[in-house]
Each structure stands twice: as C-alpha cells, then as structure tokens.
Chain A
Amino acid sequence: MKVFVAGMGVFTALGDNCAGNLSSLLGKRHGILASSRDIDTLMGDFPIAKIAYTNNELAAKAGISPSWPRTALLGVIAAQEAVASSGLDFTKYRSGFISGTTVGGMDSTENFFYSYSKNKSAGHISRIINHECGKISHLIAENIQATNFVTTLNTACSSAANAIAFAARMIKSGRLDIAVAGGTDAITAFTLNGFNTLLLLDDELNRPFDARRKGLNLGEGAGYLVLVSEEIARQNNCQILAELSGYANASDSFHQTALSDEGNGPYLAMECAIKMAGLSASVVGYINLHGTATPNNDLSEGNAILRLFPVKIPAISSTKSFTGHTLGASGGVEAVYSVLALINQTTLPNLRFEIPMPGTELFPETEARKIDLQNVLSNSFGFGGNCCSLLFSKV
C-alpha cells in the first residue's frame, strides 16, 4: 500500500505558512534574527530563530486559549494549515494525530519555576498541567478533530521524522485512514541553557557543512504533513503532493550526544529508507540535510553521504541555515521543505557556505536552482543516537 502526502502546514521564523516559508527560502532570507537574551536575560548573546509573535498573539491567530504552552500554539497553527490544505473532512474517517516534541510545555513550566525557586509555595501550579509532551499532542488533536489515535514520540531531534514514519505505518496496517504527522517545539530557556552548557551554540550565524562551522543556532516552529492511504486519496480525489515512499529508523549507538565519525546511524537510516522504496541511491536528487552546523553532526552526516553515494553526490543543503535548529520539530519542518522542493523542482539554498569540510569535498547548494527531481531524502538525527530518514517521491 502506498501512503501519500495530501496536505501540509509549516510555521517557522520564516513565515506562518508554506507559501511564506518557500518564498523566504527561494529569496535567501533567513529568520535567525533574535537573541537568546530575549528568552533568558542572564544568558550570553546567541542568535536564535524565534517566531516574532507573542503567545497571546499566537492564541488569537489560532482562535484558542492563551493558556496553552507555546509548543502547542505553534503546533496547532501549522496543523490547522495542513488540515485546511488537504480539503479532507476528518470527522468522516479514522483520523489520527502523531507528533514529535522534545520540550512539551516547558515554557509554561519555566514560568512556574521562576516563582517557585524564590518561594516554594509561590507560583501558579496550573501552569505545569500541560508540561508533558503528550498533553501538547492531545490539545492540538482535539482542535483539528484528529482524535481517533493520538500519540507523541520523543527521540530528541528526530522526533517529528519518527512521528511521520510511525503515522505511515499506522495507515499501511489499516489502523488509520488519515494521519496528521510531524512535530512542534518552542524555544525555551531550558533548551537554550542546555545547549549552551554543551558548548554547541554558535555566537554567530550558523554555517552548516562549512569548514569554519562552530555550532548551531536554536530555532522554533512546527511542521505537519497530512498522510492518507491510496484509497482515501482516490475516494476524495485528493491533491497528491508526493508519495512517502520510504522511511527508516536506526541507532548510531556511539555516544549520548555525538554521532560516530563514520556516521553509521545516518548511513543506515538513509540506506534503508531508499531500499524500502525499492530504489537505488543514484535516483536521489536532493537531500535536505540534518546539517545542524555542529562540528560533529556535519562531519558524521557528510561521511555517511560520501559512503552511500560513491559515484555522484546528490544536491544537498541544510535549511537550518534559515530556520535554526527547531529540535523535535525539525523533521516535520524539513519534511514540508522536502515536499516543497519536489513540487517546485528546485533545490533549497544552504546559506553562508563557502569552504567545504576538510577531506570531504561536499558542496551544498548555495542558490535555489531548478532541477529535475524525482526523489528527495530528509535526514533527522538526535541525541541518544536516534536517526531517521524519510524519502519523498514525485507522483
């Protein structure tokens, strides 16, 4: 059975819908415009790709309660766009919501802890009720009426990609007709300080796959696909944006926060996703890289690509040079970007790349370039060695 993409929605610092994001990507306008000090005044000054709306503005935009954590607010806006663009009546089918997130309602929890740390009986305890990652999915699912099955995956930065793969399996096994799948994560002081203690933040704009890359910039956002079975697509005469032809999950099994130099997990994830589609590596036209711009990730991912594509390297780029690293959402955001690249038959640029990593001769795309694309691979790798690749094919 085939699984198709019948709709999508995305919300990042580049814009609040697919069209806005695409226009920024093609026009090479990045969204890494804010500072970590906007979130945590005691922190150093690191560039971040924060969405300019306040929580109240987001709630008004989505037509819901401003008491929702930011992760849920960002997610529901992207999910609403995805649902609307599919034109499907979700109440007529077994429809599910499968989402990846790493911080859940942390921004609201932090709010409570700032008071609690001064006085143990202070703080509004109701602020922590939506802390759990699963609560975020539950809130969003109810809003978009995709409640026949709701679950959440947290495999760090591959969460959303794993959510998309799991959703496809739910459809293939006949358990769901429609699934909205992807991920959402807000920037929080918790993640900013966390990555800062790991010394993984660049204090300048990130440079994915460049020899001089120093680290990542954090971003926030959400991205969701509407996945449908062949039958539902036929019954409804759906627009079909792409086929999700392959996906694979693999462990790098090397280190808690670093990938192996040779990129075993990334290699396996990419290789198995292509194999699953019954294709050979040579038909992959573009790879949307995980490309966080940390020295370790890009080298590991680069080495895996060099091994998997010994003859000809496909076009590659990391759109994290635009959006920053949206963590658990990145697999969803970049799945949307991969499908946009496929529909528009274009590569997406990798900003600020000048010098290839020593010994790799990997040259990411620096411009949006018209290209004949049949298959696009989207990579997501996370802490704990959790790797996941998705393959989208032209229909």
Chain B
Amino acid sequence: MDLYINGTSSISAFDSQHGLPLDNADRFTCTEPDYKSIIDPRQLRRMSRIMRMGLASAIKTLKVANVQVPQAVITATGLGCLEDTGNFLVKMCDPDNRMMNPTAFIQSIHNTMGGQIAMHLKSNCYNNTFTQDVLSFEHALLDTIMLLEEGTIESVLLGGIDELTVLKHELTSRLSKAQKESEGYYGQGEGSAFLSISGLMSSVKLEKLILSQHPNHSDISDYFSNHFALGEKTLILKGKNGGNRDEAYKLTEFILGTKPTIEYKKYCGDYPTSCAFATWLASEVLKQNVVFDAIPQPKHVLIYHAYPDRPHSLIHLSTC
C-alpha cells in the first residue's frame, strides 16, 4: 500500500527561513508560536510547554492536511511530560514544603498529549502512546503503517514530542559528565513534530521504514546500496549528535561516505523523538520549503539513525 504525508507541522529550534539553528548554546529550545491563536486560552492556562507544543502542532498539521478528524492519534515521547513530573517530584521530596498539586500529577503521564488531542477533536478513535527511548517515534510510525495496512482506517495523525526543562538539562549534563560524554556533543534539544499520513496521494511519499535488528545492519546497508544504484538525487539526514554514540554510524560509513549529508541535530539538538523533526524536515526539503546547498532539489531523503546496542532505523521519503 502506498502511503503519503498529507500535512506536517513542527515547533523546534530550527529557523526554516534561514536554514539555521536559532540557538548555538549547548541547548536548543523551541521558538514557540503565539498559542492563543491556536488553542482556547482557558485550556492554555493549565498546559505545560510540552502540551502546548504538542496540541498546537497537531492542530496545525490537521489544518494543513485538510483533515477534520483523523481516524487514529498516535504520539511518541521518550521522556514524557518532564516539567510536570519534575514539579511534582521536587515538591514531594521536600519535606518542609510538600505542596504537590493534582494538576502536575495528572499531566505528568506520557499519554497527556494524546488524550488532549482526542478531547480537542472530540474523537473516540484509536489513541496510543509509544515511549521507547530513541526509537519512540519510529515505533509510533510503525504502528501508523500497520494500522493503515490493516485497512480499517484511512488517516492517522502521528507526532513525536519531547521537552527540555531546566531540571532535565542540569541532570543530563551531570550524567554526561559522569559517563564522560565526549567533546563535540551538539547539545540537548526539544521539539514537537506532527504528520498526517494516509493513502491519499500527495507530493511526499513514505517509501520505507526499516528497524534493523541485524548485528551488522546489513538490511540497511543493502537498502542504501540498492537505492544509490538507481542514481537518483538523494539527501541523507543523519541522527548524529556529535558525541560518543556516533561510533555506531561507522558500520555504514563505507556506503554513505560521499553522499550529501546533513547532521540534522545541529538544528534541533539531541532528544529522544528528534526523528519526528527529521521526518518533518525531510518533507519540507522535498517540497522545497527548505533548501540545503549540499543538494538543492533532492528526489529522495533517507533519515538514518544508528545507536550503540539498539536497532538502527531508516526512514525513506520521496517526491515524484
């Protein structure tokens, strides 16, 4: 079954007009829109940043895709609602000031965004939330593909969301030091990117998702080799973060070596569901809303993630 991306929206640290990251410090924080024009201010009052980012980009995606109500809502988040979780935790662990509030607890759970989107749409449809570290978004995409292939529904709203909080930044930095993260690490990031996916033809086609379990990831290498044999203009978006973990990319270096490549985490920072941002970026590049000098009009974008001790992932998008 052929699947297409009918609409996307993203909130990130990337300035699409200038093709630059907005922040060169060691953290990438999102440029957020004026939410009042997107979300009812009465709802907004209680929402943390991750909820605002998630709901706003979900609403915009559906608008762009011209979908009133999708038939499934699938969200991915690696770390969930950190602001509310941290807020509740810090108060709870302070014996002199235990002013925990119910809202923080309610909104600490990972499916908060999925539930909010369903309520906003007044929809009783399929709703699921995946949280598998750096592969959360890929797994949500897999669920999307499976649902559409099963043929009971026709459109899915899919999104990946993670937030960077002051507490997360502090603790992760401490952890990186403890684990001796190398120099060159691009920095922590955050973002929300949503996609509307269906069988309805559009200019961006979802060609392939590979989750590779092979010890030498030969299925991904083979896919690259076969694809490049076709000789078409291809951009590779790599999930390198500049740090130690990039070792894992060495396996495929011999094939990818000289191909036009963008290390996209230079634009959005490192966070578990950054692959959602990459998919949004790929779609923008194929529609020529974003142009990289390395390859001005690619016909294909391959998004590649390699992790130590985890499956590697490949997402292939194309335009006709």
Contact = CB atoms under 8 A, between A and B. Distances in A.
Chains A and B in contact, CB within 8 Å? yes
Identify which of A109, A169, A254, A386 gathers the most chain B CB atoms within 10 Å of its CB. A386
A134 B133 contact: yes
B187 interface: no
Interface stretch (A78-86, A111-119, A314-322): A111-119
A154 B111 contact: yes
Interface stretch (B16-24, B98-106, B238-246, B249-257): B98-106
B300 to A, nearest CB: 24
A152 interface: yes
B89 A125 contact: no
B279 to A, nearest CB: 18
Interface string B100-117: 111001111111101110
A148 B213 CA distance: 6
B86 to A, nearest CB: 9
Contacts of A126: 175, 178
B80 A154 contact: yes
A194 B88 contact: yes
B195 interface: no
B128 A151 contact: no
A154 B175 CA distance: 25
B108 A253 contact: no
A228 B127 CA distance: 25
B146 interface: yes
A382 B139 contact: no
Contacts of B100: 193-194, 197
Interface stretch (A59-67, A244-252, A354-362, A364-372): A244-252
Interface string A203-221: 0000000000000000000
A184 interface: no
Contact of B213 (A42, A149, A173, A383): A149
A251 B105 contact: no
A253 B131 contact: no
B234 to A, nearest CB: 27
Nearest to A121: B174
A155 B127 contact: yes
A42 B122 CA distance: 40
Given A125-B171, A132-B133, A148-B213, A257 B128 contact: no
B124 A252 contact: yes
Interface residues of A, number: 58
B34 interface: no
Interface string B137-154: 001000100100110000
Contact of B111 (A190, A198, A265, A382): A382
Contacts of B110: 102, 133, 154-155
B175 to A, nearest CB: 5
Given A256-B115, A384-B114, A194 B132 contact: no
Contact of B102 (A125, A198, A254): A198
B143 A166 contact: yes
B94 interface: yes
Contact of B128 (A117, A134, A166, A170): A166
A102 B112 CA distance: 12
A381 to B, nearest CB: 12
A368 B261 CA distance: 65
Contact of A254 (B111, B119, B135, B213): B119
Contacts of B128: 153, 155, 162, 166, 249, 386
Interface in A138-164: 138, 147-156, 162
A67 to B, nearest CB: 14
B294 interface: no
A154 B109 contact: yes
A338 interface: no
Contacts of B171: 125, 128
B95 interface: yes
A115 B129 CA distance: 32
Given A251-B123, A268-B124, A153 B130 contact: yes
Nearest to B136: A134
A102 B129 contact: no
A56 B225 CA distance: 50
Given A250-B124, A383-B115, A129 B92 contact: no
A253 B123 contact: yes
B121 interface: yes
A359 B231 CA distance: 71
12 contacts: A132-B78, A133-B80, A133-B131, A134-B78, A151-B132, A151-B139, A173-B150, A197-B101, A197-B102, A256-B107, A385-B118, A386-B129
Interface of B: 73, 78-80, 88-90, 92-95, 98, 100-102, 105-112, 114-116, 118-119, 121-133, 135-136, 139, 143, 146, 149-150, 171, 174-175, 178, 211, 213, 311
